[in-house]
Structure formats: structure tokens, C-alpha cells
């Protein structure tokens, strides 16, 4: 007699508050839990999974904390993680609005046969309009070309879009690279290349790159575009399509089949 496959979601496993101090985990949405030390998420909410994660990755460093000291350490790290998550969520929501705005503007530019560099002029117009209509949102328009966190550290978001033989499209955030100090085209290229190496993605899968109008991104010689062209030439790979967008950076790859 066939039996129904057990579903984890149906079990409604509950996070035990004792696991927090014991394994340095906090409860998150959808019956999941997150390590306050490394921010990794455990999908299946079972004490065994939390204990295994803690013992294999953090026990050697954090087992020395006991009693009230351990409790304070956990609470402090939990607050820090919650703060970072809230800031990222708010920033992500703002970036989503900016991205949607750029998606609506770019087709209008294309429909009228205008160069994408006109996006810079449109941005200036939007900024001036915002100063009069909604002064509290002026800073948001300033993020159309770049993204920094509260400490003014540049955050490079690398997106990878894949298309398979059935023309199914996937678009995922591959990495978030914190860039301290310089953000030249070479610096950005090195971060992008590291992301591809970590994901085991070869350059010959690259088909298109979309960048904003900044010189460190779109520069044909020293910008990210120029750096990618140089690397493809070194590998004797055919050149690819480069597109300009107002707001965000994405890397488009043909998905492995």
C-alpha cells in the first residue's frame, strides 16, 4: 500500500528558545532558523541540525562562553544580526523601487530611438523634480547608479540570469561584495571574477553584460566593460553584447544544460 510522503512543512516544528543560547541560533520566518554567528540558515528546524552546525563550525571558538557571559554574547550577536537584516531589507525594498523605475524608463528611451546615455539626463531631471515635489526622497534618486550601506561602503550586487533550452529564465543574486576604498573598473572586475570562480562559471558561458553609466562600469578601456573585453580577448572568446541600464548591475549567463 502506497504511503503519503511526509512533508516537513506540515510538521510545524517549533523553535525552542533554549536553542538560542545553546547553539547561537535565532528564529526566522517559515519555520527556519539562522545562526547569529555566520548568518547561515537551517531549513529543517530540528535540534540535531542546529547542534551539528554549531559543533562543526563554531564550538571550538564559542564553547568558552558560559553562563551569563554566554547569554549576553548571544543577545548582542542576535541584535546585531537583526539590525543588519532590517537595514538590508529596507535597502533592498528601496533598490527594488529604483530598479522598477529604471525598467519603465529604459523602454521609453529605446522606443524613441534615443541613446541609453540619455538616462543620465533623465536622472538629473528626476532629481530636480524630487527636490520640489518630495525633498525627503532626493537621496533615493541618488542611488540610481550606485549602492552604499550606512557606513558608506560600496556594495556590489552581482546578479546572474540563465536561460535553458526550454527558454525558462532564472534570475538570482549571486553575491554581495563589500568594497572598501577604491571601486575602479579593475576592482569591480576582480570581485565579479571571484564570484564566477566560486560558482564554477566559465567565461565562455557569458552572453551579455548590463551595467550602469558610471565610468568605472561602462568605460571601454579601464571600466568593467573594458576589463571583461580584455579577459575575453585573452581567452580568445568572441565578444559579447554590452547594454546600458540606469540603475542596476546584472551579469547574464547562458545556463548549463
Q: Would you say 70 and 21 are in contact if contact means Cβ atoms under 8 Å apart?
A: yes
Report CA 137 to chain centroid distance, whole Å.
Answer: 23
Whole-angstrom CA distances from 38 to 34, 54, 222 are 8, 10, 35
Eight-state DSSP code of residue 115: -
Rounded-to-integer distance, Cα 163 and Cα 257, Å: 9
Which has the higher per-residue pLDDT, 125 or 8? 125
Rounded-to-integer distance, Cα 170 and Cα 165, Å: 12
8: its cell numbers:
516537513
Q: CB neighbours (10 Å) of residue 86?
A: 10
Q: Quickly state the pLDDT bin for 111 (edges 50, 70, 90).
A: confident
pLDDT in tens, 182-196: 788 888 899 899 988
pLDDT in tens, 196-234: 888 888 888 888 888 876 677 877 778 888 899 999 988
Rounded-to-integer distance, Cα 41 and Cα 43, Å: 6
Predicted pLDDT of residue 153: 66
Place of cell 571550538: 60
- Domains of the chain, residue spans: 18-64, 84-141, 154-253
Predicted pLDDT of residue 70: 92
Residues 6+ apart with CB under 8 A from 19: 25, 33, 47, 50
State which H helix or E strand residue 242 sits in: strand 241-244
Rounded-to-integer distance, Cα 236 and Cα 226, Å: 15
Predicted pLDDT of residue 69: 92
Predicted pLDDT of residue 10: 43
Of 38-42, 85-89, 148-152, 213-217, give the range with the top mean pLDDT: 38-42
Report CA 231 to chain centroid distance, whole Å.
Answer: 24
Predicted pLDDT of residue 152: 53
Q: Is the pTM of this model over 0.85?
A: no
Place of cell 523634480: 129
Of 1-10, 21-30, 67-76, 166-175, give the range with the top mean pLDDT: 67-76
Q: Quickly state the pLDDT bin for 11 (edges 50, 70, 90).
A: very low
Whole-angstrom CA distances from 165 to 162, 170, 173, 207, 255 are 10, 12, 21, 15, 9
Q: What's the N-to-C CA distance of the chain in angstroms?
A: 37
Amino acid at each position: 500500500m502506497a504511503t503519503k510522503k511526509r512533508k516537513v512543512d506540515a510538521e510545524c516544528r517549533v523553535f525552542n528558545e533554549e536553542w538560542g543560547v545553546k547553539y547561537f541560533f535565532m528564529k526566522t520566518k517559515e519555520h527556519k532558523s539562522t545562526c547569529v554567528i555566520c548568518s547561515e540558515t537551517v531549513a529543517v528546524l530540528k535540534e540535531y541540525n542546529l547542534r551539528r552546525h554549531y559543533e562543526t563550525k563554531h564550538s571550538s571558538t564559542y564553547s568558552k562562553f558560559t553562563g551569563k557571559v554566554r547569554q549576553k554574547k548571544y543577545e548582542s550577536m542576535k541584535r546585531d544580526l537583526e539590525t543588519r537584516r532590517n537595514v538590508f531589507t529596507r535597502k533592498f525594498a528601496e533598490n527594488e523601487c529604483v530598479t522598477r523605475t529604471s525598467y519603465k524608463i529604459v523602454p521609453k528611451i529605446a522606443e524613441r530611438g534615443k541613446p541609453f546615455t540619455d538616462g543620465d539626463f533623465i536622472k538629473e531631471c528626476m532629481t530636480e523634480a524630487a527636490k520640489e515635489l518630495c525633498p525627503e526622497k532626493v537621496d533615493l534618486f541618488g542611488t540610481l547608479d550606485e549602492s552604499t550601506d550606512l557606513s558608506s561602503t560600496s556594495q556590489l550586487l552581482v546578479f546572474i540570469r540563465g536561460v535553458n533550452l526550454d527558454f525558462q529564465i532564472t534570475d538570482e543574486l549571486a553575491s554581495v561584495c563589500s568594497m572598501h576604498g577604491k571601486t575602479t573598473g579593475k576592482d569591480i572586475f576582480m570581485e565579479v571574477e571571484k564570484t564566477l570562480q566560486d560558482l564554477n562559471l566559465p567565461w565562455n558561458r557569458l552572453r551579455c553584460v548590463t551595467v550602469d553609466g558610471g565610468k568605472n562600469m561602462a568605460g571601454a578601456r579601464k571600466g568593467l566593460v573594458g576589463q571583461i573585453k580584455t579577459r575575453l580577448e585573452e581567452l580568445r572568446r568572441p565578444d559579447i553584447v554590452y547594454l546600458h541600464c540606469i540603475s542596476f548591475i546584472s551579469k547574464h549567463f547562458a545556463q548549463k544544460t
